[in-house]
Amino acid sequence: MAASFILRCMNRGCEFGSDSSILVCENCGGPLEAVYDYEKLRSRYTGVPSDAGSAGVWKYAPLLPLNAATEAVTLGEGGTPLVKAGRLGASLGLRNVLVKDDSRNPTLSFKDRKSSVAISKAKEFGAKRVANMTAGNAGSSVAAYAARAGIESYIFTIAGISDSKLAKLLSYGAHVFRTTAPTKELMTFVDSVSRTYSMTNMTAASRYNPYGKEGAKTVVFEVYEQMGGRLPDWAFVPIGGGGNLAGFFKGLKELRLLGLIERYPKLVGVQGEGCAPVVEAFEKGLPPEEIPVVQDAHTIAHSILDSWTPDGDQALSAIRETGGSALGVTDDEILEAMREMSSKEGLFVEPASATSFAALKKMTAEGKVSADESVLLLATGFGSNQPEAAIQAWGNPPTIELDVKAFGQMVR
């Protein structure tokens, strides 16, 4: 099951062996990234390197940061469906719209891909406690996988977390703490807590932990295989801290290094208009290291309510390298996208997931996506993660009397 890899500093190129338990560069404190022997893998496999004895995320063991001592901590993550969204596409005059429904993961979000790999590595290194900063989904995922591994979890979350997300955190036995502090201050606090009290930092950003990205990238491998060895022309990905899009792009780069693709899909990073630092940097042509911190951030898409994007530099670079785009969507556009995804395709998604379709609608209306181009929408979380938004989108149902004749007036 062990893979051949090293850890490489993304700032200075320093390299560390696969047996190292460090999470950041020992020399400069920069983010680390797992790098594999792609030439060896390319000569050994004709498709995406995989382990026939595993499924989901762990199917791609040859491209995961595994040592002989690594024991997979799994709840059955990955292997999520790729849904042909014909009615959504038809509403926009598009012939090929696909939804990669990662809301079908065990804790109802794509974060499970990250947590499975990162918690497995934490267990390998003998971690007794892990810490995480979250708007809800990441913390729920970390808490679930930590419970599975027998590791204590300390989860620090925003004050406005939904009751359903809070209930999940508590049910997994996590030590949960709420705060009104902004994203950057909270992430910095959690990092300090982790260092001070010997906790493994599981915050979903590669500047704190390199292993979550390795799980996130597997969604690209699945899409490639589900599409019969090809990729779409466009991929729309919600952006919070930027780690999901950074992981998506790492998967693309690895497919290219393996000789399986020649071109990248155009990546579109989507944020809520009231919390769109990557969009602002893209529109202003700012360098990746100058992505702003948003003041008074707000969006109904709580899962991407990150006023500071620790992996935003990687996300912005990926957008530019693929010839893609970044745009913000309003709360009203998000709610409308939620209604359409559920009523037209039976896809009950949370607001952050719906931003992808909301962005596609805007870009199609502007003539930027043509009818014959294929489009992938990444659905990152299930609707029950933020049920109050669904009620806001649809409104409360009427209360009726049990009168058959009177009811006839309500039947269309």
- What is the residue-level pLDDT of the chain in tens, covering all 412 positions? 567 899 999 999 999 999 999 999 999 999 999 999 999 999 999 999 999 889 999 999 999 999 988 999 999 999 999 999 999 999 999 999 999 999 999 999 999 999 999 999 999 999 999 999 998 899 999 999 999 999 999 999 988 888 888 999 999 999 999 998 888 999 999 999 999 999 999 998 889 999 999 999 999 999 999 999 999 999 999 999 999 999 999 999 999 999 999 999 999 999 999 999 999 999 999 999 999 999 999 999 999 999 999 999 999 999 999 999 999 999 999 999 999 999 999 999 999 999 999 999 999 999 999 999 999 999 999 999 999 999 999 999 989 999 999 999 888 7
- The answer to the question of residue 65 being in a domain is no
What HEC string does 144-201 produce? HHHHHHCCEEEEEEECCCCHHHHHHHHHCCCEEEEECCCHHHHHHHHHHHHHHCCCEE
332/329 Cα distance (integer angstroms): 8
* H-assigned helices in 218-330: 218-226, 243-257, 277-284, 312-321
The 10 Å Cβ neighbour count of residue 290 is: 10
Tokens 């990669």 belong to residue? 100
**What per-residue confidence (pLDDT) applies to 98?**
98
Structural domain contains residue 29:
no
Beta bridge partners of 84: 98
Structure tokens at 355: 């931003």
**Could you give phi then psi for residue 131, rounded to 5 degrees?**
-125, 150
Residue 237 sits in which domain range? 82-108+212-394
Q: Quick check: is 278 in a domain? A: yes
Burial letters 169-186, b for 16+ CB under 10 A, else e:
beebebebeeeeebbeeb
Q: What pLDDT, on a 0 to 100 scale, did the predictor assign at position 2?
A: 65
The domain that contains 242 carries what CATH number? 3.40.50.1100
Would residue 340 count as lying in a domain? yes
Domain assignment present for 412: no
The pTM for the full model equals: 0.96
d(CA 181, CA 265) in angstroms, rounded, equals 37
Asked whether residue 291 is assigned to any structural domain, the reply reads yes
Query: With DSSP H G I counted as helix, E B as strand and the rest as coil, what are the percentages for the chain, rounded to 5?
Result: 45, 15, 40
Q: How many domains does the chain have?
A: 1
Q: Are strands 325-329 and 266-272 parallel, antiparallel or unpaired?
A: parallel
- Classify residue 70: in a domain, yes or no: no
Q: Cα 157 from chain centroid?
A: 17
Q: What count of other Cβ atoms lies within 10 Å of the Cβ of residue 83?
A: 19
Query: Are the C-beta atoms of 38 and 32 separated by less than 8 Å?
Result: no
DSSP 208-221: T-SHHHHHHTHHHH
Cα 393 versus chain centre, distance = 23
Answer yes or no: is 222 within a domain.
yes
